Structures are given as structure tokens and as C-alpha cells.
């Protein structure tokens, strides 16, 4: 994997770059749709590729390990062949999912012991084992196994957790460097910076992570309950240390405004389930604010859904029609809303990139944040 920094924005840390993988190029900053089980909920692969123009999607190691299972994925020739997605894929290590199962998991030096949320069966994720699983899945970018501490954890917990994450990283990195991909193309491996909401721990972790010289680095453990301003502060602290010639991936964040604030602070890659999850519940993100599509006010509004944003769904559907579908509990409502929200997120990051390249990102971003803060 290669990363080329192409432009920076005056007065901010925002950057535009290009990641090159064996499955294609990724222009940054970029939002990555979440396809937990090898599927972005409610969206066909051809829509992701041709209409939304997603450059890269995510899969989740925990969920894919449980279903369909690593044997099936390996026999299929990896996730790309299994789900028909020909562009890059990134896999989370599954750590966040394991650690969210607080009642059904136990952390040890060896790894994370957990019970399946499907049938209660017992499993173990080790740093080495997760590398092997991600090799079998065949992602272009693999994440290290880490512990994601709660946003409100105390310093003692955060310190112990960070030390464990660093020890696991050293083991995972060793396994990664001693093995090769199974399908004839290269796979990158990103360490994850942790440290909760403690700036000194974040600095310690960023320095430790940077020393591995990996193809890219991730920032984890944010948007997990801490105040938004603390999240922004931690991003700044970490990005002051992470190398500028490697992509920076902020995991699991967030709202459109969060996305722009992260880009402003030097983040290159982002993902979140919010576009599809909120869309399925009738919330749409637009260039002029958020809309609850079940509101009566849209019943006879025959204007485009988002006239100032992406054009895909607006070529066909109006606010009135989409509201009708939601009120009628038609499945198409959830599909249209998911596609729209994903199209909006990807449009937003493409626009951010364009304004970085053109030199007016700070002005554009301030205007967009103000507009998107409204509830329509």
C-alpha cells in the first residue's frame, strides 16, 4: 500500500491524498461505508459502486468469523470474491464488538475470551489469531486487535488497558510480518492508538504506534461516550505525533459535522454506521440540515430530497414520496434513505477534498457546519 500527500489546507491540518492498494485507489479524505457482514445494509454492490461511488467498504472480523465462517470465506477465495466487491476492503479486528459484549467476555494476557451473540458458543481472539482471520478474509487493510476502553473510564483502567493493547500490538505485528496474504495481493496492517480521554496516554500511544512504521495508523476509542470537544482534543493530540506521510484513520466517527471537524484536524479516513442506521429510522442528512421523514410537513412537499447535495436519489424521489413510504412501512423507504445518506457522506468528503485542493477549505467548512446544524 502507498500513500501520497497531495495538498494541505491553509490555516488547518486538513489534507488531501491518495492511497494505492492492489484493488484500486482511494482519494482522501474518504468516508467508508460499513458492511459488517460483507453487506452494506439495504444497498446493492452496484449501487455502492456506480451510484454512490464508494471507493472502499468495511467488513467486520468478529461477525464474519462467526458467520459465514472463515472456512467458507477462504474456500470462496476471500471476501472480495464472496461478496462481489472488486474495490478495496478494510476489516476491523472485531475488538470493539468483543468488548461491547461486557457480560459475555473476559480479557486475559492471551487475548479476548467471548461467547457468540448468536449461539453462546465460546471463542478466543488472540492478536496472532486475528491476523490469521483477517488474512483469510483478505482485506486490503487489516486492523490490529486492541481493547477499546469506555469513554468514561478512570485513569487506572485506561493505563492498564493501553499497556495491554500495546503488548497485543507487538504480538500482532510480529505475526503480520511473518506471514503473507493468501490470495496473491498485499495487505496492510494498521496499529490503533488508544488512551481514552487522557492526553498523555494518547501521546504515549501515538509514539508507540508510530515507531512500527506501518502503512497507516488508526485512532480508536473515541465517540464512545466522551464529550465531543474531548474527542476533538484527542484527535489533535494524536495527529501532532502520527507521521504525516501515512494515512490516519479515525474509527467509528460519526455525524457529518464530526466528519468535517476530524478532517480539519488531519484525519484521512472515517467510517460509521450512522448513515444507514439513521436512514432506516427515517433520519436524512442533507446539505441544509437533518430531516425526520415521518414529519407531517413533508406530506405534500414535492421538492427534491436534497437539492444542494448529491443528486442520485433526487433524480427520482421527492420528500413527499419518501415520507409516504416510511408512513406505509414500505421496505423501499429504508433502502432509499440508506442510499441517500451514504451518498451524502461520500459527497461531503469529496467536497472537502475539492476545497482542500482549491485552497478554501476553512471557509467552506465553516459554512457547511452552520448549515448542517439545522433541523429542517
Backbone angles phi, psi at 75, to 5 degrees: -65, -30
Catalytic residue chosen out of the listed positions 92, 146, 268, 306: 92
Catalytic residue chosen out of the listed positions 51, 140, 264, 271: 271
- For the chain, the three-class secondary structure string (H helix, E strand, C coil) is CEEEEEEECCCCCCEEEEEEECCEEEEECEEECECCCCCCCCCCHHHHHHHCCCCCEEEEHHHHHHHHHHHHHHHHCCHHHHHCCCCCEEEECCHHHHHHCHHHEEECCCCEEEECCCCCCEEEECHHHHHHHHHHHCCCEEECCCCCCCCCCCHHHHHHHHHHHHHHHHHHHHHHHHCCCCCCCCCEEECEECCCCCHHHHHHHHHHHHCCCCCCEEECCCCCCCCHHHHHHHHHHHHCCCCCCCCEEECCCCCHHHHHHHHHCCCCEEECCHHHHHHHCCEEEECCEEEECCCHHHCCCCCECCCCCCCCHHHCCEHHHHHHHHHCCCHHHHHHHHHHHHHHHHHHHHHHHHHHHHCCHHHHHHHHHHHHCCEC
- 50 annotated active-site: no
Q: How many angstroms separate the CA atoms of 371 and 348, rounded?
A: 13
- 271 annotated active-site: yes
* Contact yes or no for 180/212 (Cβ under 8 A): no
Active site residues: 92, 271
Amino acid at each position: 500500500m502507498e500513500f501520497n500527500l497531495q495538498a494541505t489546507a491553509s490555516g488547518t491540518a486538513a489534507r488531501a491524498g491518495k492511497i494505492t492498494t492492489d484493488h484500486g485507489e482511494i482519494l482522501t479524505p474518504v468516508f467508508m461505508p460499513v458492511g459488517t457482514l460483507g453487506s452494506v445494509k439495504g444497498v446493492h454492490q452496484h449501487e455502492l459502486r456506480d451510484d454512490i461511488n464508494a471507493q472502499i467498504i468495511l467488513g467486520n472480523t468478529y461477525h464474519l468469523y462467526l458467520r459465514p465462517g472463515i472456512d467458507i470465506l477462504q474456500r470462496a477465495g476471500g471476501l472480495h470474491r464472496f461478496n462481489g466487491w472488486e474495490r478495496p476492503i478494510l476489516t476491523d479486528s472485531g475488538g470493539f464488538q468483543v468488548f461491547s459484549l461486557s457480560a459475555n467476555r473476559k480479557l486475559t494476557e492471551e487475548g479476548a475470551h467471548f461467547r457468540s451473540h448468536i449461539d453462546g458458543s465460546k471463542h478466543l481472539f488472540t492478536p496472532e489469531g486475528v491476523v490469521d482471520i483477517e488474512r483469510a478474509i483478505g482485506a486490503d487493510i487489516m486492523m490490529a486487535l486492541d481493547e477499546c476502553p469506555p469513554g468514561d473510564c478512570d485513569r487506572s483502567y485506561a493505563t492498564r488497558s493501553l499497556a495491554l493493547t500495546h503488548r497485543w500490538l507487538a504480538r500482532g505485528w510480529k505475526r503480520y510480518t511473518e506471514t503473507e496474504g493468501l490470495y496473491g495481493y498485499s495487505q496492510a496492517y494498521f496499529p490503533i492508538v488508544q488512551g481514552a480521554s487522557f492526553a498523555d496516554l494518547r501521546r504515549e500511544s501515538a509514539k508507540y504506534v508510530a515507531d512500527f512504521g506501518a502503512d497507516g495508523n488508526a485512532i480508536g476509542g473515541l465517540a464512545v461516550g466522551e464529550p465531543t470537544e474531548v474527542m476533538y482534543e484527542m484527535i489533535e493530540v494524536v495527529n501532532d505525533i502520527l507521521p504525516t506521510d501515512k494515512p490516519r484513520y479515525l474509527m467509528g466517527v460519526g455525524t457529518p459535522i464530526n466528519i468535517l471537524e476530524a478532517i480539519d484536524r488531519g484525519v484521512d479516513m472515517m467510517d460509521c454506521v450512522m448513515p444507514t442506521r439513521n436512514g432506516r429510522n427515517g433520519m436524512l442528512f442533507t446539505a441544509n440540515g437533518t430531516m425526520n421523514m415521518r414529519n407531517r410537513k413533508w406530506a405534500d412537499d414535492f421538492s427534491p430530497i436534497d437539492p444542494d447535495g448529491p443528486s442520485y436519489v433526487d433524480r427520482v424521489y421527492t420528500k413527499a414520496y419518501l415520507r409516504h413510504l416510511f408512513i406505509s412501512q414500505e421496505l423501499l423507504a429504508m433502502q432509499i434513505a440508506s442510499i441517500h445518506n451514504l451518498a451524502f457522506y461520500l459527497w461531503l468528503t469529496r467536497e472537502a477534498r475539492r476545497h482542500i485542493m482549491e485552497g478554501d477549505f476553512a471557509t467552506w467548512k465553516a459554512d457547511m457546519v452552520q448549515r448542517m446544524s439545522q433541523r429542517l
